[in-house]
Amino acid sequence: MEKKVTISVKGSPPVEIRAQGLNGLKALRALSMDNMERMAAIKINGEIKDLSAEINSSAELEPVYIDSQEGLQILRHSAAHVMAEAVRELFPGTKVTIGPAIKNGFYYDFDYERAFEANDLPKIEKRMAEIIEEDLPFIRNEIPHSEAIDFFRSEGEPYKVELIEELSEEAITMYRQGNFTDLCRGPHLPSTGKIRAFQLTHVAGAYWRGDERNAMLSRIYGVAFADRESLNAHLKNLEEARKRDHRVLGRKLDLFTIRDDVGPGMVIFHPNGAMLRRIIEEFEIKEHLKRGYELATGPQLLKTELWKKSGHFDHYREHMYFTSIEDQSYGVKPMNCLAHMLIYSSKVRSYRELPKRYFELGTVHRHERSGVLHGLIRVRQFTQDDAHILCTPEQLKVEIQNILDFVRDIMAIFGFDYDLEISTRPKKSIGTDVDWQKATKALIDSVEEYNLPYQINQGEGAFYGPKIDVMLKDALERSWQCATIQCDFALPERFDLTYVGPDGEKHRPAMIHRVILGSIERFLGVLIEHYAGAFPLWLAPVQAIIFTITDRNIPYGEDLLETLSGAGIRAGKDFRNEKLSFKVREAQMKKIPYMLVVGDKEMETGNVTTRLRDGRNLPPMSPKEVVDRIRDESKNRR
């Protein structure tokens, strides 16, 4: 008797259909689904499969469209395979490694006799377009483990062999399009012709498996979207991002430098950058003090025995620096938590004192590989707006929610939207299962009680506790991880932290590690790109600059500068014997908010001619009116 299965799409009546030869594509056609040309894959009982996947039993189906998040991942991974085929054809002898989909695009790492260069990309793109035009099917195949090894050995692909040898599966999945076969779990698009909008963007170096002891590979990056319009919008954003690059603006605005002769990842802040940093730090201190935090400061060096006690030595030492003083080993602090726990343990604490909230603008050092260093975003020395809250377990949820309120208030001031991610226990960690469950539940309950959406990142927590990561969205809708809230029961146990409860007995406090802005350096890098260097007045290192038209106007200009500086306004001067238009253009490039012009006319009237950096001219104002306007705008953080 002919076998039949029942298939359905959520919300639609089920259909009984012949099982023989039935796959995802035929099933969706049988259900009379619309937009078949937009389908990238199919979910069969919730699991994403190729459209060619066989359906042997009754199932609930769901189409995966190419412009959905899941569809775009499949599109981008398929584009990576096409790029690998093109590279192997154009550059014989190239060995392929891995080529995943990433946010907005894809990359593939190659081992070739020379590093690939930007001028190789047009040729690769052209061949990719030809492969796409051929509309080659992506064909899935499973073969025994040993056969897969033999196949890739015969293809001269040692990296694929290495990856397969580490797999425990008896059957290995591979995909082929045209003359190229790749190790891959899938799924993939039905054919290369579905890739309609892509572009290769740049090349970079990358160590095999991220290990600097391994071979240096060539990484080629590309972007891919469901349609040309989306691709063009993204490319426009990329161009805008290049203009906003904080490393470029850092030089133009004279904010900071990073010099090879000083050391990678070590930032030198110039006066403008140091002023910007000081403004942020003073703002942070005020915001913390009014929320009940106490200031604390810990040393840069602590004995290595303390880092062993905390677990950092076993779980974090590859990111730490160590030194020896008088035959005693010390660790340079990568975090500020140890000193704060030592402050807490310096005397007996009562439950009536809790919560204790210790805040420190603490400078830390972390050994980051040179390959991941990036301007202010990833450095080796940085300052965190770090705080540690010790509280009773009953106070934990309220304290977490207070921090969420703090984050909301601060991000609104800077104009950031954000998403939340909750990261759970990693494989390498300390503490009991019970404590991790309590800590994770506290974070999830706090977020859910506030009705805040979040995603779970399995296994991405800190080694001592789970955490909430706050992912900022900047003016270009890019995500940046800044604030974190980490819940910890392990370190209070290791350092025997206690408080005396209402029953007169000792109890163990809970501990929250948290930052609001995170690394000050990183946050400044994000701010520079978010504002494209045109900081709001309250943040601008130089709020106003005074121009004189002739040398005889200099005394009036000096008096005006004294008035502004005396009123607490960050003002500068340009009394050079240059054309006014030249001075204005230079100040606009430096993105100074207010340009104050004084000439003979202003000296006669006692007024100031004011020009804004956006090109608008204001009516003549007295020095007092200028001061009041700048003060008011700064006070309202505009």
How far is Cα 638 from Cα 631, in angstroms, rounded to an integer?
Answer: 10
Write down the residue that tokens 């040179």 correspond to.
370
The tokens for 549 are: 């038209």
Among this protein's residues, is 487 annotated catalytic? Answer: no
Please identify which of the residues 76, 219, 288, 513 carries the catalytic annotation.
513
CA dihedral over 426, 432, 434, 435, signed as positive or negative: negative
- Structural contact between residues 408 and 558, judged by C-beta atoms closer than 8 angstroms: no
Report the run of H or E that residue 595 belongs to, with start and end: strand 594-598
Among this protein's residues, is 388 annotated catalytic? Answer: yes
Please identify which of the residues 337, 391, 482, 487 carries the catalytic annotation.
337
> Which of 488, 487, 453 has the alpha carbon at shortest distance from 471?
453
Please identify which of the residues 73, 177, 199, 384 carries the catalytic annotation.
384
Please identify which of the residues 333, 340, 349, 366 carries the catalytic annotation.
366
How far is Cα 565 from Cα 315, in angstroms, rounded to an integer?
Answer: 50
Instruction: Give exposure, 195-228, as e/b (b: 16+ Cβ within 10 Å).
Output: bebbbbbebeebbbeeeeeeeebbbbbbbbbbee
Q: Which residues pair with residue 479 across a beta bridge? A: 473
Neighbours of 127 (CB within 10 A): 17
DSSP-derived letter for residue 551 is G
- Structural contact between residues 295 and 359, judged by C-beta atoms closer than 8 angstroms: yes
How far is Cα 40 from Cα 386, in angstroms, rounded to an integer?
Answer: 45
Among this protein's residues, is 513 annotated catalytic? Answer: yes
Please identify which of the residues 388, 425, 514, 522 carries the catalytic annotation.
388
Write down the residue that tokens 């146990």 correspond to.
493
Among this protein's residues, is 340 annotated catalytic? Answer: no
The tokens for 419 are: 């998403």
Please identify which of the residues 50, 120, 385, 386 carries the catalytic annotation.
386
> Which of 328, 336, 331, 299 has the alpha carbon at shortest distance from 317?
331
- Structural contact between residues 464 and 312, judged by C-beta atoms closer than 8 angstroms: no
- Structural contact between residues 598 and 548, judged by C-beta atoms closer than 8 angstroms: yes
Please identify which of the residues 140, 219, 246, 467 carries the catalytic annotation.
467
- Which own/partner contact pairs does 191-194 have at CB distance under 8 Å and 24+ positions apart? 191/135, 191/136, 191/137, 191/138, 192/78, 192/82, 192/131, 192/132, 192/134, 192/135, 192/136, 192/138, 193/132, 193/133, 193/134, 193/135, 193/136, 194/40, 194/66, 194/75, 194/78
For residue 570, the SS3 value is coil
| CA dist list (Å): 392 to 288, 342, 350, 396, 466 | 21, 18, 10, 7, 18
How far is Cα 389 from Cα 399, in angstroms, rounded to an integer?
Answer: 8
Give 169's contacts (C-beta < 8 A, 6+ positions apart): 145
For residue 137, the SS3 value is strand
H-type helices in 55-154, by residue range? 69-90, 121-133, 145-154
H-type helices in 572-622, by residue range? 580-589, 600-605
Identity of the amino acid at 71: G
Neighbours of 443 (CB within 10 A): 26
How far is Cα 143 from Cα 580, in angstroms, rounded to an integer?
Answer: 76
The tokens for 203 are: 């090349």
Among this protein's residues, is 384 annotated catalytic? Answer: yes
How far is Cα 274 from Cα 256, in angstroms, rounded to an integer?
Answer: 8
- Structural contact between residues 338 and 330, judged by C-beta atoms closer than 8 angstroms: no
> Which of 337, 633, 386 has the alpha carbon at shortest distance from 511?
337
How far is Cα 295 from Cα 357, in angstroms, rounded to an integer?
Answer: 9
- Structural contact between residues 149 and 167, judged by C-beta atoms closer than 8 angstroms: no
> Which active-site residues does the annotation give?
337, 366, 384, 386, 388, 467, 513
